[in-house]
Each structure stands twice: as structure tokens, then as C-alpha cells.
């Protein structure tokens, strides 16, 4: 099963994708992870990606598409993948469809998450992430605090705040997201692939609740 996670920063994509990966036994893969892997290994694609990310620039579509295409060839994703952070544009979505068609595969479901903007900002500035790249468990100082301050419950590593998890950066990222990615919602809606869900404390629906709903939906429909 091939799943795409859509949603602005702070809507809980990573949390929900992690639960789905565990329950459905398919890997969760983010474009950020792919970039870091290639940059660390010093591949040609990694060097090309780093030439943009080191300047704070967006990695062009053709480079990102090449990295994802390369990742889709690896053994661990042959039975399915949960893509978080890709596609970000309609062009990338069209290219992903072509990549999968070559393998007689398709996008099965696109999970579109929405959260009120003020909650997103509050959630992100309180977010802490495990510094262990093998773990990467996400905590929230208000919604899901660690048992011991500054320490990951799962592996005992230090928890860190991402450099761009500030109010100003979040607002900028939200604007970019809505401008660039909103057309994707329409693209997948027309294809009948879209599953939309609200993640909000105002309706008592957090990431783990939505993940359970999605698992139930998949079990009943696929």
C-alpha cells in the first residue's frame, strides 16, 4: 500500500505516519530523511541537494524527484511506503504517478490533515524531537510531554528543538505551504484518493485518534 501524507507543518503528519507505519508494517519515509541520507553518503544526488539546502534554498523539483525515484527502488519499500513531505507540487504528484505506473503500482490513499493555525503555531513552538536519528520520536511539552524533561522516553537520548520551530518561521512556512501545496488537495480529490481529517484539541481529536480512524478506514476499504 502506498500512502501520501498531506498537511501543513504541525498538523501531526509525522506522528500519524509513525503509527501507521507500525500498524501497517510499511516504512515511513520523509524527503528530509532522503536528503540527509544522500548528503551523508556523499552521492551525486546528495551533493546536488546540499548545494541548495546549504544556502537555504528550496531543492528544485527535478532533484527531489530523482531522490524519491531512487528511494522507491530500495527493497524495504517494495510492499508499500508512507511518503511524508512528497509530493509538494502537482508536478511532483504527476511524476510520482509515472514512477509508480512503471512498477504497476499506484497511490492508494492520500491523508490530508488540517488544524487551526493558532493550534499549529502553539504545537510547533512546543515540539521537541529525539536527537537520535534512528529514533526521531516527537514530543510536545503541552500535549505529549516526555516523562523526564529533555530526555526521550523511548531511547533515552536528548530531546532538541528544531532551529526553525519559531513563531515567525512557522507563519512563513504555513504561507508557503498553502500557496504551493493546496492545489495537491484538489488534484487527489479529483482522483478519488483523498481522505481528509481534522486534528484539533478543540474537537478532542489528536494525532493518535486520527491514526486509529485511518487504520480502521484502510482495513474496511482495502
Query: DSSP characters for 4-73?
Result: EEEE-TTSSHHHHHHHHHHHHT--EEEHHHHHHHHHHHT-HHHHHHHHHHTTTPPPPHHHHHHHHHHHTT
**Residue 174 near residue 167 (C-beta atoms within 8 A):** no
Among 36, 173, 193, 201, which one carries the catalytic annotation? 173
The shares of helix, strand and coil residues in the chain, as percent rounded to the nearest 5, are 50, 20, 30
Would residue 127 show up in a list of annotated catalytic residues for this protein? yes
Q: Note the pTM of the prediction, 2 decimals.
A: 0.80
Whether omega before 87 lies within 30 degrees of 0, making that bond cis, reads: yes
Can you tell me the mean pLDDT for 104-121?
A: 94
Where residue 31 falls among pLDDT bands split at 50, 70, 90? confident
Write phi, then psi, for 54 (nearest 5 degrees).
-65, -20
Query: Closest Cα partner for 132 from 152, 107, 112, 114?
Result: 152
Query: Closest Cα partner for 111 from 196, 175, 187, 182?
Result: 196
Among 71, 88, 128, 136, which one carries the catalytic annotation? 88
CB atoms within 10 A of CB 180: 13
Of the listed ranges 53-67, 99-113, 116-130, 175-189, the least confidently predicted one is 53-67
User: Which CATH number covers residue 170?
Assistant: 3.40.50.300
Where residue 178 falls among pLDDT bands split at 50, 70, 90? confident
Among 71, 123, 127, 136, which one carries the catalytic annotation? 127
Would residue 23 show up in a list of annotated catalytic residues for this protein? no
Q: How many structural domains compose the chain?
A: 1
Where residue 16 falls among pLDDT bands split at 50, 70, 90? very high
Among 40, 47, 106, 162, which one carries the catalytic annotation? 162
- The DSSP bridge partners found for residue 114 are 198
- Residue ranges making up the domain that contains 116: 2-221
| pLDDT for residue 125 is more than 70 | yes
Would residue 91 show up in a list of annotated catalytic residues for this protein? no
**SS3 of residue 8 by DSSP:** coil
29/16 Cα distance (integer angstroms): 13
Would residue 123 show up in a list of annotated catalytic residues for this protein? no
Mean pLDDT across the chain: 90
Amino acid at each position: 500500500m502506498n500512502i501520501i501524507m498531506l498537511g501543513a507543518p504541525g498538523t501531526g503528519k509525522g506522528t500519524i505516519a509513525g503509527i501507521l507505519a507500525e500498524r501497517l508494517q510499511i516504512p515511513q519515509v520523509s524527503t528530509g530523511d532522503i536528503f540527509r541520507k544522500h548528503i551523508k553518503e556523499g552521492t551525486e544526488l546528495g551533493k546536488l541537494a546540499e548545494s541548495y539546502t546549504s544556502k537555504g534554498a528550496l531543492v528544485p523539483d527535478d532533484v527531489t524527484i530523482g531522490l524519491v525515484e531512487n528511494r522507491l527502488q530500495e527493497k524495504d519499500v517494495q510492499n508499500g511506503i508512507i511518503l511524508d513531505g512528497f509530493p509538494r507540487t502537482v508536478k511532483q504528484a504527476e511524476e510520482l504517478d509515472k514512477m509508480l505506473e512503471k512498477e504497476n503500482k499506484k497511490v492508494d490513499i492520500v491523508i490530508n490533515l488540517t488544524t487551526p493555525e493558532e493550534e499549529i503555531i502553539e504545537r510547533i513552538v512546543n515540539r521537541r524531537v529525539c536527537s537520535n536519528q534512528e529514533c526521531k520520536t516527537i514530543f510536545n511539552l503541552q500535549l505529549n510531554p516526555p516523562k523526564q524533561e529533555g530526555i526521550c522516553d523511548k531511547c533515552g537520548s536528548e530531546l532538541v528543538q528544531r532551529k526553525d520551530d519559531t513563531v515567525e518561521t512557522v507563519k512563513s512556512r504555513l504561507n508557503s505551504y498553502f500557496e504551493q501545496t493546496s492545489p495537491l488537495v484538489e488534484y487527489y480529490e479529483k482522483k478519488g484518493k483523498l481522505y481528509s481529517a481534522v486534528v484539533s484539541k478543540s474537537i478532542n481529536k489528536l494525532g493518535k485518534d486520527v491514526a486509529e480512524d485511518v487504520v480502521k478506514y484502510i482495513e474496511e476499504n482495502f
